[in-house]
Amino acid sequence: MHNWDRTLTLAGIGHPSLRADYTRQRDLVAAYRRHAYAAVRLLLPAALVPHVIAATAFMHRTDTLLDRAEDEGVSWARWEKEVRAALATGDTTDPELRPLLHTLSVHPALRGPIEDFLTGASLDREFTGFPDEADYQRYVDAYSLPAFMLIASLLLAPDADPLAARQLCRAYIDGSQRLDFVNDLAEDLGSGRLTLPVTTLARHGVSREDLERGRDTAGVRSLLRTLLEQARGDLLAARPLVRLAPPANRAFVRAVIELEVRTADAAQAKDVALLGGSARPPVLTALRVLYREYARRGR
């Protein structure tokens, strides 16, 4: 793994102010997505690393603004306007957008996912819950999948079959999003958001109050088990996505999927205790996944 300055050089990022912009975003991503950042640094070619970080930082910034009425004086409406103006003109003075524009100049296929992500963002901002599974699936199509494609468009081979790529990315993000919604139930309910379909709760005889109070009932156990098994199944179905990535990126794609599967396993093991806080795979388990893929990449 190259040091950060060398990584920026290998990625062709030479201007001092742009290097500083990418470095700030590196620090941000490293702080809130430690396992993901470690996987990026260990398992991706150096020339791609800053671009994946720029796309991740943009997604995180957008998602943060969607969740808050205003963040440090920046509203969602203002941010969206600035992003669209930057995309239209190819220029910006915003240090949070400069890396994204530079990455877009190197990877022009990123433009479509950025625009799709912005278009679907209103669905997350206006979120009031999912009446049924169909509403959840619409959310995945409109918001979760475009968000994932910000990263996937950088990872997959340019000549990958677009239909197969979309289907496998869709399977991955359906599993990952459902896993997140189940794993983060305590946090979401604490902020007033119920992210599970109402009809799914009813089918298991579970009320919102049961979840908010952390009740250990047969229905709650059945609900959590069913949703986590469904999420895990979708993640496993996404494993052929690895074959659509260039050889240099496959270790990373494999590790990302495997870490999500291990998170699902940890959530299943935690069972009803999930209603008190999220599950994460043991640190040693995550490190073994990363080490195995790093060694495999070396071969």
Is 49 inside a domain boundary? yes
Which of 281, 277, 291, 239 shows the shortest CA–CA distance to 259?
A: 281
Q: If we measure between CA atoms, which residue out of 275, 283, 237 comes closest to residue 259?
A: 283
Answer with the residue of higher pLDDT: 4 or 299: 4
Q: Which of 168, 164, 226, 166 is nearest to 196 (CA)?
A: 226
Answer yes or no: are the C-beta atoms of 35 and 259 closer than 8 Å.
yes
Q: Are residues 162 and 289 in the same domain?
A: yes
CATH number of the domain residue 53 falls in: 1.10.600.10
Residue at token pair 């959590």 = 224
In the numeric block, the tokens 């620090």 are attached to 27
Is residue 183 located within the same domain as residue 298?
Answer: yes
Task: Look at the chain and report how many structural domains it folds into.
Answer: 2
Q: Which residues pair with 74 in a beta bridge?
A: 71
The last residue of one of the domains, among 79, 108, 137, is 108
3-state secondary structure of 43: helix
State the alpha helices, DSSP H only, in 142-282: 145-155, 162-183, 185-190, 198-203, 208-212, 218-237, 247-270
* CA distances, 158 to each of 39, 45, 48, 151 (Å): 22, 16, 14, 13
Where do we find the tokens 């970080």?
53
> Do 5 and 150 lie in a common domain?
no
Residue 75: count of CB within 10 angstroms of its CB:
13
What average pLDDT does range 265-269 have in this prediction? 97
Tell me, yes or no, whether 5 and 97 share the same domain: yes
| Residues 158 and 273 occupy one common structural domain | yes
pLDDT digits (tens, 9 = 90+) for 55-85: 999 999 998 888 765 555 568 888 899 999 9
Read off the pTM.
0.92
pLDDT digit string, tens, across residues 131-146: 999 999 999 999 999 9
- Structural domain that includes position 56: 1-108
- Asked whether residue 92 carries a pLDDT value surpassing 80, the answer given is yes
Residues 102 and 201 in one domain: no
Same domain flag for 152 and 17? no
